[in-house]
Every structure is written in C-alpha cells, then in structure tokens.
Chains A and B, each alone.
Chain A
Amino acid sequence: MNSTTTQTVPATSSRQHWLSSGWRAGVLLVALIVALPVLTVFSFVFEPAGEVWRHLAATVLQDYVVNSLLLMLGVGAGTLLLGVSTAWVTTTCEFPGRRVFEWALLLPMAIPAYIIAYTYTGLLDFAGPVQTGLRELTGWGYGDYWFPQIRSLGGAVVMLSLVLYPYVYLLTRAAFLEQSVCVLEVSRTLGASPWRTFSRVALPLARPAVITGLSLALMETLADYGTVQYFGVDTFTTGIFRTWFGLGDPGAAAQLSALLMSFVFVLILLERWSRRQARYHHTTSRYRSLPRHRLRGWQLPVGVLVCLVPLLFGFLVPAGQLLAWALRTAPEMLGVEFLQLTWHSLILAGSAALIALLLGLFMAYGKRLHGNWLVQGAVRIAGMGYAVPGTVIAVGVMIPFAAFDNTLDGWMRAQFGVSTGLLLSGTLAALLFAYTVRFLAVSLQTVEAGLGKIRLSMDDAARSMGYRPGEVLRRVHMPIMRGSLLTAVLLVFVDVLKELPATLILRPFNFNTLAVRAYELASDERLADAASASLAIVLAGIIPVILLSRSIAHSRPGHA
C-alpha cells in the first residue's frame, strides 16, 4: 500500500495493510463528518456579498479585527500569568493551604464566562452596590470620580482570563509534576537559583503543555459570544450575528467566520510549532517525589497571594454573589422543574463527554498508528470546531441534517408513499453531534498529550508479543493514560454543562437545561432570578473539577 505507514509499526502482512487502511479510512470519515458543519457554513463563502462587505469594511470591520486581536492578546497574557505562576507555586513550594489551592484553583473553570460577566456587572457597575456604596460614603456624583468600566474590552479580558486560566494551570501543572526531579535537581546542583531553574529548565520543558493550555483558552476566547455581547465589545462573533441576522446576509457572515477561522489556523500553527521537537520522553523512569521549597519570610505572603487572587476573583466573589442572589430568589425558582433542568444538563454533558472521549481516542490512536499527512490534517480539522461560536456550529448542523432528513423523506414518499419526516433534526442526537463538533478538540488534545508521553517502544514491545493494535490500546495504553482519559471526559463534561448557544437553537421540544434557564432570565436582566440556575451549573461543575485535580495529583510518576 503506502510506505508512510511503516514509520511506527512495520506493516508485515496484507491483513495489517487492510487493518491500517481501515483505521485510516475510519479516521478520515469521522473527521469529515465532524467537519461537516464548519464546511456547511463555509459553503456560503461563495455567495456574492461584495456590497455588504464594502459596507462592513467602511464601517465596523476594523473594530471587529482590532477588538478580537486585543481580546486574544489580553486573555493570552492573563491566562499565562495566572496559569503558569499558580502551577509553579503549587507544584514546587510548600506553604499553608497549598493542598487546598491545588484543587481550588481549578474551580473558576466551573463558572461559564457569561455568568461571571453578569455577576461582576451586577457588583461593579455604576448602579451596582460597590459604586453606589462609594458614592454614599463620599457624596460624589456621576463624573466626580474615576472607576474602571467593567463592561468594556478590558473588563472582558479580565472576565475571560479569570475563568480560562485553569486550562493553562491544569496542563502546566501536570507537566511540572511529570518532570523528573532529577532534571530539576541537576539544575539546582549546578548552582542555578530556583528562579533560574524555573525559567531555564522547568518552563521550557513544560512549554508544549503551556501552549496547549493557552491555545484551548484562546480558542474559547475567539468563540465567546455571551461575554462580549453583554459587555458591548464588537468582535468577530458579535459581528457574525449582526451581519447574518441584522443585515440578513449569511454570505458575508460566513466570510467573517472564515476570517475568524484564519485566526484559529494561526493558533494551530503556533501549537504545532511549539511541539516541533515533537517526541521526546524522559530518559529515565526513576522518579522521586519533589522536595518542596518551603516559603518563608516575604516569600510566604507572595506565594499565598499568587494563588489566592485568581481563586478569590475567579470563584469566591462571583460564587458568593450568586449565592446571595440565589438565597433571595430560590423559593420561586426551585421546584420539580428545576430538578428536571439539572437532570437534562447532566445527561447531555455525560453523553457528550463519552462520545467525545471515544472519538478522541479513536482519532488520536489512528494518528499514532498511521499518521500520514492526510490523517494528521484530518485530525486537526476535526478539532477546529472548538474555536467556532456555538451558534455558527448549530446552524452548520441544522442545515445538513435537515437537508438529509428532507431528501430521505422525499425519496421515501416517491418510492413507497411513506413519509419519514425529520429523523435527525430537532432531536438530542443533533444536539449531541453539535457538542461533539464543538468540543472534540478538548478530548483530542488531552488524549494526544497522554499518548505522546507513552514511548513508542512500548507499542513495539506489545506488538511483538502478538497484540493487535486495538488490544495494545485497550490493554497497554488505556491503563497507562487513565489520567488523561479522565481529564478528557471531565473537561468536555464541564464544557457542555456551560454550553449555551447550540443548546438554545438545537434542543428538542419541551427540553430545557440549566444554561438555557440561566440565560433566559439573565438576558431579561433578571440577574437575581438567574442565580439559582447559574449556581447549579457551577455546583454540577465543581465535582468533576475536583475529580480532575485528584487525578492529576495521582498522575505523578511514582504515585500509584
């Protein structure tokens, strides 16, 4: 067949040829199906939209580009700063509360960006309690004092950084934990200071993990609609909706989406570039638990502050405000129906997480086994949905599904006089598919990272013992990378729990989720009423987040 397959696992028999091409075809097929929504939207690109495009270019396009870029830069800097510093401090230092911070630092992940945005708006806005209190205290009026405007580009950067830094923290910490102590000790015995060890040894070694976390955070940033819309910041996502629905021009909206995707390509290239020394594995399997550096004197408050600030502003303050609101409004909002909402959210998130895990595993392993350029490209394309706004994906799912349903229905009517109606449209299957398209990247990247750490010599050894590729995966790889698999499931679970736009558009009749309920009330500016549902999303997200943290702590080599 084709010699590129022999790079990793020598194909020795025709049966293996068949197997490998079968697996490869499977990966390509899945990638194609997953790419379908994005391709559907892209097909509008060829619709003539010259006139609208000129209008956009003359008026608002510059704002979209500049704001999106600034948002990415800001959130990039913010998540790096918060994520890497907390990961380093909790991994290498010892101070009171460290064990709590280890998992608590992940908590902001459970808060959807649009919810933290409206919570802080309620707190800090001109008419909110903080500024009103300030005015009452000082007797100032409007214009007498300066107060940062929370609903602004800067505010959006802070909000998104606070809820997205855990991606960087999570992956960076895992990378720090896996670093052989020996490497770090060598650095220290050669006379390098702790800071130098960090900047010259630990950080460069962790770079692939840092960049992966960063690219996840930035893709979420690009896809964000709720926060920027609420804050009145004009970015690509808000522009796409305005062009599509306000101007009624899907062609120009698709072209904007295409431009947005070009940002994503840059991110993907960046991520690949960071992995250019692709496969390296620690050369020794001898690990010792890291002796932590005990913080003393001035170091102690600095270390604690580094961890406390993101936790306080990313979780405690917004969750506290939500709780305060919820306590006031809960009696009206809670009831049997609320349980049903919760159940719907959990079942959707659980199912989507499993699907994403299985597909991610299938594709990542296919790439490891038979990774020619075609498969590599397919895997990349399958992960692109993560940066596409949920609404765009939802429309991209709706159109081909309905076309399929209607074509089948037409054919069945013509052939047999039977109407099959809509089989896929408006079902949970369509919704789960949309989640898969949107979040496959998360599980794919996590599984790939896990697989990448397993030496290829393991595959060879297992194969030489007569295991087939599927068995190697099941009996060798999966047990080793249990932590990564769990991480993938939990990340997608939390993401789906928070997902709003696709759920809103694609859900079946009489089917609501917590996110939908929170949004409907918040969009009507009934923030206090929205708090119960918001808090439930946060609570449902906390348990997986804690599990996640435990799995990482245990992932350290040497810890059984």
Chain B
Amino acid sequence: MSVMSLSRWILPFLSVLLLAGPAAAAEVNLYSARQENLIKPLLDRFTEQTGIEVNLVTGKADALLQRLRSEGRNSPADLLLTTDAGRLHRAREAGVLAPVESGTLSERIPARYRDPEGYWFGLSVRARPIVYVTDRVKPAELSTYEALADPKWKGRVCIRSSSNIYNQSLVASMIAHHGVEATEAWARDFVANFARPPIGGDRDQVLAAAAGQCDIAVVNTYYLGVMLNEDDPEQREAAGRVAVFWPNQEGSGDGRGTHVNVSGIGLTAAAGNRDNAVRLMEFLTSDESQAWYAQVNHEYPVRDSVPVSDTLAAWGEFKADDLDLHLLGKYNAEAVRLMDRAGWK
C-alpha cells in the first residue's frame, strides 16, 4: 500500500467531513456532561415534536466548561448541561452563562433547585444516601452522615474517591453546615473507617458491599436503581442485598435532610439560538421528560407532580437537605483540600 494511494482515498472523505457541520436552520447546540445514552432519547423526542435539530457534544463538565471559556462570545454552544450544581455555579462565575426569564421554568422548578437569577435550572434531583447490607446491619444502627465517623464502623465503609464530584459536593455541603474545622475532624475519622482504599464508581461500592467487603456504602440512588433493573442477574442480586437508609432525617442529628444535588442546564452567554434553547429547557422540564428521568435512570424529577419509578417509590419519601445548591460550587475547592488533608484518596 503506497502513501499516495492512501491519501487519494482518505483526503476526499476528509474534506467532506470538514465541510459538513451543523447546517439546519432550526437548531440548538448543546454541550452535555450527561452521557449520550442518558440524554439523546429526550433530544430525539424534542426534535420530533418541534422540528428543531439538536446538535450534541458530550464530555466531562470541566472540559466542556473550559471549551466554553476559550471559545468566548463565538462559542457555538447554546446550552450547557451538567450533572451537578457545583459546575453550573462555576460556569456562572466564569461568566459563560446568561440569565433566562421563563414563567414556565420558574413555575415548574421549585426555587431551591434553580439559580435565583435564572442562570441555571435543575432538571433532575440526585440523592446520596447510605446503603447498608440488610443481613449485617440494622437500620437502627444508622442515623446521620456525621455518625459514620463513629469507630463502630471501622473497616466497614465503602465509598469512592475524593476526586469524584459527588463526594466533593457532599463534603462541600458539610462545610456549609459545620465549617471547615469540624468537617475535617469528621473526615479524618470517617476515612479511618474505610474498608479499602477508595476505588471504582458507585456501582462498585454496592458490589463490594454485597460481596462482603464492607457493610455500608454512600452512593447516589440512581446507580442502585439501575442495578436493580439490570438484565445482568449478578448486578440485580448484589443490589438486592442492600437497602437504602436516608440519613439526617427529622429526629436524627440536625435533621437537615439527606444530601442532594441536581443535574441542570444553563443558557450560554454566547447563545445564538436563544429561543430554541429556552424551548429545549422547557421541554426538559415537561411532564413527559421528567417522567423519563424517573423511569429510565431512576433519578428524582424536580417536579413533585411527576410520578417516580416503582424502584424509587419503594425507597419511600425522604427529606432533602435544602441547602443553597450554589454553596456546593463555592466550597468545592475547599472540600478537595480538606479531603487531601484527611487522607481521603
């Protein structure tokens, strides 16, 4: 195979690819930190209903944010979708988001799940409770996140790395409630209870607990929800061995409620398809879309009126921490440092 014949083959295709960009008249461009299979079906539905094409790039939130920042006012992106409020706050601070005034959005989304000035809106709620292995732990032994630092849990706790945003947000919420010093003291004792150095994702913590490596884990509910509805019998069985405990409810500790975060969306300051973008935002909060989050990925809808999946219903109602979500972003860097100091890998 000679170089010449190769280039003769590839160059024409390449030029076609380079020229073919988003070209449709009615379109909206989305940077999404939700991975494709957890957003595309909704976008397809939106296109079906409105005729507006959605162009999508998925990636890690920080990278997408960096891309928005460097592209500046010429950025093609109209919307930024993330899986946590901290990053939305960071995007707002970086000046890449623009406020939206929409009666529909502010009516549908409770005030605690959106930015007061309309820079971002929560689309689904993600709770991070404790799960426990039912045949080794009684729910009465559990109460609050704070109580997980108790020496009785020594060698019995599984949780993922402190590089993970959900843990950073959890610790940020504790900083917001208790201050740095108290949270750091808690983190040191909590880390001392780890059954193993943090590895793997949230599913992995459930698998390890089910297999006997630890007795409790702190995970986002939708991972467990997906596992319980998985085709793979091993995953189903593992998930079946644990149960959800809602920490910090009324009567235990300060009763502030279980830590929650949102996956949310914001309009970019550079948005060229503003109206289409707002339509997509509104579509994502419609009954239909909200039900989809709950049914397919077992996330909690931001709208109370929307029914949840059977799996979620079985875990019961819980009180969510009503902390201002932007504080999760504000204390994020502090949380990372604190976990570094506490030896949380």
Which residues of A are interface residues toward B (Cβ below 8 A)? 55-56, 58-60, 121, 125-127, 131-132, 141-142, 151, 229, 231-232, 234, 238, 241-242, 244-249, 328, 347, 350-351, 354, 357-358, 391, 394-395, 398-399, 401-403, 405-406, 409, 419, 421-422, 425-429, 485-486, 489, 504-505, 507-512, 516-517, 520-521, 523-525, 528
Contact = CB atoms under 8 A, between A and B. Distances in A.
A315 B245 CA distance: 43
Contact of A142 (B74, B90, B213): B213
A151 B158 CA distance: 15
Given A126-B213, A246-B336, A509-B29, 13 more contacts: A125-B207, A246-B163, A347-B13, A351-B14, A406-B73, A419-B74, A427-B18, A489-B6, A505-B59, A509-B21, A517-B36, A524-B201, A525-B204
A486 B204 CA distance: 43
A409 B70 CA distance: 14
Given A246-B168, A402-B72, A425-B71, A395 B337 contact: no
A248 B67 contact: no
B4 to A, nearest CB: 10
Given A126-B208, A422-B76, A505 B345 contact: no
A232 B76 contact: no
Nearest to A503: B59
B287 to A, nearest CB: 26
B132 to A, nearest CB: 16
Given A59-B340, A151-B200, A510-B22, A422 B71 contact: yes
5 contacts: A354-B7, A395-B63, A406-B73, A429-B18, A485-B3
Contacts of B6: 350, 354, 489
The binding surface of chain A is classed by DSSP as helix
Contacts of A395: 63, 66
Residue of A60, A132, A232, A511 with most partner-chain B CB within 10 A: A232
B18 to A, nearest CB: 6
Interface string B181-225: 000000000000000011111111001101111000000000100
Nearest to B70: A402
Interface stretch (B50-58, B112-120, B146-154, B249-257): B50-58
Nearest to B195: A142
Contacts of A525: 200-204, 223
Interface in B33-81: 35-37, 55-60, 62-64, 66-67, 70-76
A132 B211 CA distance: 8
A354 B10 CA distance: 9
B56 A509 contact: yes
B232 interface: yes
A505 B7 CA distance: 27
A127 B238 contact: yes
Given A126-B213, A347-B10, A234 B17 contact: no
Given A347-B17, A509-B57, A232 B341 contact: no
B161 interface: yes
B268 interface: no
Nearest to B160: A232
Nearest to A482: B2
- Report the contact-size class of chain B (Cβ under 8 Å from the partner): 35 or more
A228 to B, nearest CB: 11
B1 interface: yes
Contacts of B212: 141-142
A215 to B, nearest CB: 26
A534 to B, nearest CB: 16
A177 B72 CA distance: 55
A248 B70 contact: no
Contacts of A405: 71, 74
Contact of B199 (A132, A141, A231, A486): A231
B332 interface: yes
A510 B55 contact: yes
Contact of B161 (A58, A232, A247): A232
Given A127-B208, A245-B62, A509-B29, A347 B163 contact: no
Given A508-B21, A510-B55, A525-B201, A520 B75 contact: no
A376 B228 CA distance: 60
B333 interface: yes
A427 B57 CA distance: 12
Contacts of A521: 35, 37
Nearest to B272: A421
Given A354-B10, A509-B55, A428 B62 contact: no
B10 A528 contact: no
Contacts of B75: 422
B35 A520 contact: yes
A125 B212 CA distance: 13
B167 to A, nearest CB: 10
A521 B201 CA distance: 12
A422 B35 contact: no
A132 B208 CA distance: 11
Nearest to A229: B163
A399 B70 contact: yes
B3 A421 contact: no
B67 A398 contact: yes
